[in-house]
Amino acid sequence: MTPATSPSSLADNRHWLAHQRALETELAKARERQCNLKRTAAAPDGLDAPAQEPDSEGWMLTYLDLMTLLLVMVLAMLAQAMISHHPAPETPMKPMAAFDIASLTQVEPPGALLRVPPRVVEAVPVAPAIAEAPAVEEAPAAAPPEADPLAGLPVDQLGSDVEVIRNERSVSFRIDSSILFPSGQTDLDPKGMQVLQRLARVLNTVPHRITVAGHTDTRTIRNAHYPSNWELSGARASSVVRYLQQQGIAADRLSAVGLAGTQPLGDNTRAEGRARNRRVELTLEQRQSP
């Protein structure tokens, strides 16, 4: 980008340029007159030639040449001053690297430039190897032994009318139907109520759920109240559940189911087997571990 110039500088430049043009014009005229004089002096004899002007203007040519040189010098000085008025940004010079004269004058032996300097490899300390002990497989943790479902139950208070059966994950209390109900009936006998009262005191000591199942033999029963053993077994289980609830056992712990003669314990073709099959079982379900 060209630096901006002031109005005064422009006026000075125009003045010197006009003065230079005037000097150049006078110089051209003087040279033309000098040439005319030379042609007149060289003209052949007998020809009419203009009268020779006295050589009084010879110094004028030298003066004009000198003024032209001076004008050119002045213009060059003005241009240099204008350039120096807007200095260019200085570029910082990098310091010259110091050098050693001895290294410049040192003479290497023949073949030294072709030698490859040896590669130095630093030794890395190696940690001593540690023998790893063979992994010992851990034996699977033994499952905690299941709690005894009869632990804490006062079963000795039940008497001989209640048979206790321990299953894999439950405990059942089996009662003969002849103790609880009259033949073909679903209303509890007073003796059966006493047995259920003792059983209710034992069941109130644990929070487990209780399933009451009624069982019959396979003989067909047909009357106005119970058309089959399914209704009879279910009604007897419901009677036991209602009585246990009256003895303080929560209803959400109790459930009743009638199984008729589907799970016999004895031979239904014999009187002893049929008597054993007629029963009510109360199953105390063991709580699952979390």
Query: Residue 237 burial by CB count (10 A; 0-12/13-18/19+): exposed, middle or buried?
Result: buried
Tokens 């003669």 sit at which residue? Answer: 261
Reported as half-sphere exposure (CB side, CA atoms, 13 A), residue 2 has a value of: 4
pLDDT in tens, 167-202: 777 889 999 999 999 888 899 999 999 999 999 998
- The answer to whether residue 164 sits within a structural domain is yes
Q: Structurally, how many domains does the chain consist of?
A: 1
- The answer to whether residue 53 sits within a structural domain is no
Q: Strand 210-215 relative to strand 254-260: parallel, antiparallel, unpaired? A: parallel
How far apart are alpha carbons 266 and 273 in whole angstroms? 4
pLDDT in tens, 208-244: 899 999 999 999 887 778 889 999 999 999 999 999 9
Identify the CATH number of the domain in which residue 198 sits: 3.30.1330.60
Cβ–Cβ < 8 Å for 165, 171: yes
| Backbone angles phi and psi of 80, in degrees to 5 | -65, -35
- The answer to whether residue 108 sits within a structural domain is no
| Domain that includes residue 226, residue range | 155-285
Tokens of 272: 């002893």
How far apart are alpha carbons 244 and 74 in whole angstroms? 136
- The answer to whether residue 278 sits within a structural domain is yes
- The answer to whether residue 197 sits within a structural domain is yes
Distances (CA, A) of 163 to 166, 279, 281: 10, 11, 9
- The answer to whether residue 46 sits within a structural domain is no
How far apart are alpha carbons 172 and 243 in whole angstroms? 18
- The answer to whether residue 100 sits within a structural domain is no
- The answer to whether residue 204 sits within a structural domain is yes
The pLDDT of residue 127: 57
Tokens 């042609």 sit at which residue? Answer: 39
- The average pLDDT across 86-97 equals 57
How far apart are alpha carbons 154 and 158 in whole angstroms? 8
pLDDT band at 83 (very low <50, low <70, confident <90, very high): confident
The pLDDT of residue 256: 95
Tokens of 290: 């979390």
pLDDT in tens, 133-180: 555 556 555 545 555 556 667 777 788 889 998 877 788 999 999 999
Tokens of 66: 């000198």
Q: 183-217 b/e with 16+ CB inside 10 Å = b?
A: eebbebeeebeebbebbbebbeebeebbbbbbbbb
Q: Is residue 267 scored above 60 in pLDDT?
A: yes
The pLDDT of residue 119: 58
